[in-house]
Amino acid sequence: MVVFRVNGKEQRVDVSPDTPLLWVLREKLGLAGSKFGCGEGLCGACTVLVDGHPLRSCVTPVGEVRGKKIITIEGIPEKHPVKKCWLAQEVSQCSYCQPGQIMSAVALLRNKPKPTDADIDSAMSGNLCRCGTYGRIRRAIHAAGAGASMKGGKKS
């Protein structure tokens, strides 16, 4: 039995401790927002926050998060500045990578509310977007950090 908190609720799952966290979230807890991308922790589509830090859930055994606090995309309120700015900047195209992108952006802004372009590039470097919306992602993060939605921002 592995016990941890997800989005503020204690969860107890009866799985092998080496089961990837992503599969526990999706298959056992019904939290399908985190996506399976590469399966090697390289693309970032499966990113969740563990004790406030971005973590690739596809390569993290659930036993490693025993007793920790996990936040998934479902645990980020719709009115969160990052989600609001994501919509205002029309970041999403196919949207597959966006849950992981948003989780990394939330973690960045918690640690650095006014990030530079270099800070954003560094924090987001492990999150791949096949649609190439990196300019929009950067603008959305700046807007969220500034507390604005930047409506009508340029598209990239």
Q: List the domains of the chain with CATH numbers.
A: 2-75 (3.10.20.30), 81-146 (1.10.150.120)
Cβ–Cβ < 8 Å for 4, 16: no
Token digits for 98?
Answer: 């966006």
Q: How far apart are CA 69 and CA 51, in angstroms?
A: 5
Q: How large is the average pLDDT for residues 8-27?
A: 98
Q: Single out the residue of 133, 38, 125 nearest to residue 95, CA to CA.
A: 133
Classify burial at 155, counting beta carbons within 10 Å of its beta carbon; exposed 0-12, middle 13-18, buried 19 or more: exposed
User: Per-residue confidence at 148, pLDDT binned at 50, 70, 90?
Assistant: low
Per the prediction, the chain carries an average pLDDT of 93
pLDDT in tens, 72-104: 999 999 999 999 999 999 998 888 999 999 999
Distances (CA, A) of 145 to 7, 64, 81, 83, 116: 23, 31, 8, 12, 10
Mean pLDDT of 95-119: 96
pLDDT tens figures, 38-77? 999 999 999 999 999 999 999 999 999 999 999 999 999 9
Rounded to an integer, the average pLDDT of 3-19 is 97
For the chain, what percent of residues have pLDDT higher than 70? Answer: 94
In the structure, what pLDDT confidence band is assigned to residue 147 with cuts at 50, 70 and 90? Answer: confident
Nearest alpha-carbon partner for 15 in 54, 47, 61: 61
